[in-house]
């Protein structure tokens, strides 16, 4: 079966991987620990997302041997029980916290060439001071878990239904316009490390590709630190571009026509970041997750139930999600910030090289009765249909990408000063253009 035949570009298992998946399932069922032996949680066995088999395949590919894959899965199930991940979509956060999350400039902007949902994250202008003052790190990390579960239950399910095959990976665009070393504080590094750890330890094989846009010279210093938080496989999926219309055209060409990213979204003054998305009617990803959770909760619907089986009970309007039982928040924070010894010692590998040698027929086949979870009665749609094309077609452009920088994050003060000087010189010498950043 050829590579092009797979929507989402996630190949079926090889014979060896099938054997490992079967062994992993048997180990899970035979474990005497009640928590580990239970049925996989709902978001890990959604039929639209490939069901239990896709989850087992993702954990199989995340580690080199079956025992390590099993330990990873077992730890993830224990983590889910500790932090309440299985039920985190049942209740929204308080409205004041949802309002804080709405200020985070990250938006879904359609789908990539292979059907992956595309998420645009204006990384450098996230209002961390506001988030930490209004929510604190632990509650923010809980909201991040809610977003990850929403992505599984709604975003991936919708993408799978749209493209007719399970999609369990996404494409990220990280816009780093406005990034400075003063913004990359110790607290921001701590949050970045914690969120990366939650995703990598519990939602493996979720990144199809990532694109960095508007990368200034100083980004090489920041990337040297950030890359130490990420798996080597993840780092290999990152593509770093410069700024301006040519870089945008190259990015748009890589994403395809089903992604409605516009030049105004990434080629605009820093103070106007997010305005183009709001004009289009988009809501931030964090806010979209909270809106969806609240919509289900206010209607008395179980988040996982299809319309024909919705619960009739109405919620207590005075009750909102309280993950603070302080113990729950402490466990999320501790789990996310602990030293990842296994990740440091583990050898990662990419199994796709030999993944197309076998025929697996309907492994990725969907049920015929898939439904789109997005509201059709006036409710907010997280990812609306792409707007009419402006008629512009990205042309052939020179390679404006910035090479990846390897490193351990321990750069000297002289190196940092040199990068700051480069940024300053670039700002003084840049010419006026359509976006003021070229």
Please state, for a pLDDT cut of 70, what percent of the chain lies above it: 66
Whether the predicted model's global pTM rises above the 0.85 cut: no
Q: How many CA atoms lie within 13 A of 176 on its CB side?
A: 26
Q: What confidence tens digit (pLDDT) does each residue in 199-212 have?
A: 999 999 999 999 99
Q: At what angle do helices 95-102 and 136-150 cross, to 10 degrees?
A: 80
Question: Is the pLDDT confidence value at 78 over 90?
Answer: yes
**SS3 call for 260:** coil
Pick the more confident residue, 43 or 226. Answer: 43
Q: Which residues contact 404 (CB under 8 A, 6 or more apart)?
A: 223, 227, 235, 238, 240
Q: What confidence tens digit (pLDDT) does each residue in 264-317 have?
A: 999 999 999 999 999 999 999 999 999 999 999 999 999 988 654 333 333 343
Q: Tell me which range, 7-21, 66-80, 343-357, is most confidently predicted by mean pLDDT.
A: 66-80
> What is the dihedral angle through the alpha carbons of 241, 247, 251, 253, rounded to the nearest 10 degrees?
-140
For residue 194 the two structure tokens come to 């914690």
Using alpha carbons, select from 302, 265, 287, 315 the residue that is nearest to residue 437.
Answer: 265
| pLDDT at position 365 | 39
Which segments within 139-221 are labelled E, that is strand? 170-175, 207-213
In this prediction, residue 230 has a pLDDT band, given cuts at 50, 70 and 90, of confident
Q: What confidence tens digit (pLDDT) does each residue in 118-150 have?
A: 999 999 999 999 999 999 999 999 999 999 999
Alpha helices in 280-367 (DSSP H): 285-298, 326-337, 341-345
Q: What confidence tens digit (pLDDT) does each residue in 352-361 have?
A: 332 222 233 3
């Amino acid at each position: 079966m050829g590579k092009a035949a797979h929507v989402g570009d996630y190949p079926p298992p090889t014979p060896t991987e099938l054997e490992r998946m079967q062994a992993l399932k048997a180990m899970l069922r035979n474990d005497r620990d009640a928590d580990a032996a239970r049925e996989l949680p709902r978001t890990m066995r959604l039929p639209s997302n490939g069901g239990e088999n896709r989850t087992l395949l993702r954990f199989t590919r995340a580690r080199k041997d079956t025992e390590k894959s099993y330990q990873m899965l077992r730890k993830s199930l224990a983590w889910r029980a500790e932090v309440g991940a299985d039920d985190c979509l049942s209740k929204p956060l308080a409205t004041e916290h949802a309002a804080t999350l709405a200020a985070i400039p990250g938006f879904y902007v359609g789908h990539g060439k292979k059907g992956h949902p595309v998420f645009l994250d204006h990384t450098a202008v996230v209002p961390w001071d506001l988030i930490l003052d209004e929510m604190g790190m632990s509650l923010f990390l809980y909201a991040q878990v809610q977003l990850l579960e929403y992505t599984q239950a709604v975003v991936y399910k919708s993408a799978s239904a749209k493209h007719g095959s399970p999609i369990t990976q996404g494409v990220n665009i990280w816009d780093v316009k406005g990034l400075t070393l003063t913004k990359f504080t110790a607290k921001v590094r701590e949050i970045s490390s914690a969120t990366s750890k939650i995703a990598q330890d519990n939602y493996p094989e979720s990144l199809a590709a990532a694109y960095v846009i508007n990368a200034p010279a100083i980004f090489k210093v920041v990337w040297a630190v950030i890359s130490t938080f990420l798996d080597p496989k993840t780092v290999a999926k990152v593509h770093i571009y410069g700024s301006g219309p040519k870089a945008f055209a190259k990015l748009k060409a890589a994403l395809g026509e089903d992604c409605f990213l516009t030049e105004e979204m990434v080629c605009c003054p820093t103070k106007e970041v997010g305005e183009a998305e709001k004009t289009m009617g988009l809501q931030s990803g964090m806010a979209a997750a909270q809106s969806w959770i609240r919509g289900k909760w206010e209607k008395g619907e179980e988040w996982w139930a299809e319309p024909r089986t919705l619960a009739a009970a109405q919620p207590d309007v005075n009750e909102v999600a309280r993950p603070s039982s302080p113990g729950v928040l402490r466990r999320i924070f501790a789990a996310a910030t602990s030293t990842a010894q296994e990740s440091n010692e583990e050898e990662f590998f990419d199994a796709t090289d030999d993944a197309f040698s076998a025929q697996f027929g309907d492994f990725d086949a969907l049920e015929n009765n898939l439904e789109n979870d997005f509201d059709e009665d006036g409710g907010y749609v997280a990812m609306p249909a792409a707007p009419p094309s402006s008629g512009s077609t990205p042309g052939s452009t020179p390679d404006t990408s910035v090479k990846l920088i390897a490193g351990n994050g321990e750069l000297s003060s002289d190196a940092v000063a040199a990068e700051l000087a480069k940024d300053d010189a670039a700002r003084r010498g840049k010419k006026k253009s359509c976006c003021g950043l070229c």
